[in-house]
Amino acid sequence: MIATVSSKGSLQSFPWSDSPNRFLFQNLLSNAIEYTSHEEITIGAAVSNADRVIRCWVRDTGRGIPEDRIGKVFDKLETDREDRGGLGLGLAIVKQVVEAHGGQISVTSKFGEGSTFEFTLPVEAAVNAAVFQHGGNTAA
């Protein structure tokens, strides 16, 4: 498996190791690893100064999601039909966390070719959540 990390913009001071930021990437990356064997996973982030958002993504070249299931992946209790042991809560929680911080999440996928999960967080909300979590200390 090949992992690629990409970033654009000023992300050096962003608290990536802090919750909820870490949780979002952990969940999406864990899913990508589970459904991608011997292919490529790319994680990335970019700051849009014009929109004041941080855009983050996890892209894999795994098996992808069937078209009839795309609209359900963020639903609670929605699991893989091949039952890989998940509870069907991870992506639903990811969506709730992103939306609770004023962001948006989406997925694009082509069955047999892979998926891209992308979320945005307002810069202020992402940084404030990390500061609140650690009592004002955003050091990694």
Structural tokens at position 122: 């307002």
Neighbours of 50 (CB within 10 A): 6
Cis, bond preceding 20 (omega within 30 deg of 0): yes
Q: What is the pLDDT along the chain (140 residues), one digit of tens a residue?
A: 444 555 455 554 455 555 567 788 888 988 888 888 777 888 888 888 778 888 889 999 988 888 988 898 888 866 665 656 566 678 999 999 999 989 999 999 998 899 999 999 887 765 555 444 444 444 43
Structure pTM? 0.76
Residue 94 dihedral angles phi and psi, to the nearest 5°: -55, -45
How many degrees, rounded to 5, is the angle at CA 70 between CA 66 and CA 76?
Answer: 120
Cβ neighbours of 119 (radius 10 Å): 25
Report pLDDT for 44.
Answer: 85
pLDDT at 83: 56
CB–CB of 32/62 below 8 Å? yes
SS3 (DSSP) at 103 = coil
